[in-house]
Structure 1
Amino acid sequence: MYTTIKTLFDKGYNKTQIAKMLEIDRGTVRNILKRIENGEEIKRKSVESILDPYKEIVHIKAKQELSAMRIFQDISEEHGYTGSYDTVKRYVKRYKQSNAKVYMVNSSLPGEEVQVDFGYIGKIPNPMGVLKKAWVFCMILSYSRLMYCEIVFNQEVKTFIKCHENAFKYFGGVPKTVKIDNLKAAILEANFYDPVYQREYEAFSKYYGFLPIPCRVRTPTDKAKIESGVKYVKNNFFKGRSLKSFEEYEKALLGWLENICNSRVHGTTKQIPKEVFQDEEKETLQSIKPIEYDFGIWTTRKVNVNCHISYDSNFYSVPYKHIGENVALKVSDKLIKIYSHYELIATHLKIEGKGQFSTNNAHYPEYKVKTKTQLQYEYRQKMLEIGPNALEFFQKVLEKNQNNWGKPIYGILKLKDKFGSEVIEKACKRALAFGSIKYQTIKNICEKGLYEQPVDTGVSLISNTETDIHRPLSEYESLFKLKEVK
């Protein structure tokens, strides 16, 4: 009615004429024209749909990516919907269109990014001539679209890393980032915001200086270039091709890469990948390491109280602060690297043989690795603090026992904690007067209170070269005030 009145009025009919033609009141025509003049939008009167009570359920199921037929079946059987399938189909189509995701074009600078993935290609002969399940590994430079492909028979970490190295050699350099699918070979936990990288792949990426970036789960647009690349090599090279040996496949694939894949006009860029790579991208790649990555095996060990871990019946030191901790070992042909929470804490040359120790003294606390001279000086100063007789006692012990002086002096210093410096000084003076330089002598003097007894100057002291074992018994009696032996 609104549209008809406006159309007739625009054609020059007056209000009275319009009212007669439409058989309605002139006032109604006047009111509608006034509302149109004021800019009021003409709206269709809403009509209730048979699907209205079920729309919330339809939305949930559509987000689960169920088909319109499946949604129709579910709401009919489970919720009593009595309308037609076409009604559901039209509504689901409109709903998905209105909620479709918008994606930006992911542009890359030259040398900035490659994308990698595997594609299953069925069974082909392996190098031994046995039919085995096979995959094609693909790496594509996101800027030039130059692609490298290689046939593999597993997706293990070592294979994955070796394919990367072969691709880098093919390109003649290393990109800044490698965008990977959430492969078990590279990613242990599919979390885009905090990925737990497979330890070996992480070490490999650091060695070559690129940043690995995992794609988001169920987001094919993150890796659209490699998705298309894998599909292309499977359909254009492998599909319908049956060769007799692995060597024939390998040679044919390399020729296909050179003469077809990288020499064609690319469907998206409308340029030839090989030419774009040579002209714009090759020089932007990082240089390749002259020595290939040293692949190793990983294992864990617990750090013992002696600051060592055991591997293959040999022992390797670890900083003492990691005692009791489980650390990770990367074992290669020549080296053993030890990590704590992804941080390298020790490196050792791998020991040949059994029962051997590789020890870095810096892994011990400072007091455990002092030189003999440092220890002698430290203990001498402590005995000097007690007094001159204690210092003389220390020097005589050192002269007599060059290799076993530490324990008696340490014992005397422990006695000082109990009896005090003054008592130890007097005890050393008495022991020296009787020619004894034994810890047990000092201990007996202190415990029996003999340090207060006067020294009998009439007693003949033995020479410094004599040992206590040759001293007359009478001297011991005077030393310890023993009762007369009967």
Structure 2
Amino acid sequence: MLNAREFRNMSHLRELSKWWMKEKSDKHIHDTTNYPPIDLFIANEQDKLQSLPLCAYDSSEVKLLVARGDAVVEFETNFYSVPENYVGDIMSLKATEHEIFVYSPELDLVANHERIPFGSNKKIENPAHRISNRVRYSLEGVKENFLSLGTAAAVFLKGLKDQTNQKCGFHARYILNMKEKYHAADINKALKHANKYNAFDCKSIERILRSKARQRTLESIRNDKAREELKKGLPKIKQRELEEYSELFSQKSNEKEN
């Protein structure tokens, strides 16, 4: 088929290849079986074929990432913007061949970007995610998420404001970034410890966590949350009193005697 033949383009090559397979290869007598391949296929294999699934197999990459203090998620050395109010949240990122999808903790789609090649070190921003720089790096955009760390967060924030009012946003965002390695409950304990010694500084929280807390993967944090939600939906198992088993065994003994 290929000997001295010229092809106009790839489509022409594919077209002739299909013709050759159907008219030549499938119909020739095979040296080993002494039957045309198409006849053996119809007799032995055709009825065993299964239809393809309705939806194509999803081979997308999925990762859990923390939205950083500058409202981006990092994937393959590149940075993709998310709305400001998700700073410090654990986001789900889905990467297809050409696109990036970012989902909120409730699995709502909050960002969609073109996928940039690995190693580009680029920041891809959606203008709709951005507000003025003054608000963007202030405390207001992350205050709610910071307070959700636990009861010690409000006390720490007040001390932080009294000590360094103009840099509260930086410290709060830096601490929220620590959710990538530490559970929120551990961060809250670190804040409580810092409150006791008036250590209102993000670096102090980082040092406390390094010495007192165990680092965790985002997957383990997600699994812990899922386990807690599952427990809420399951009925509580109450241990029986030992007397109930004694009564049960006594009844069976009486039945055997009778």
Give the TM-score of the pair, scaled to structure 2.
Answer: 0.32
Structure with the larger RCO, 1 or 2 (CA within 8 Å, 6+ apart): 2
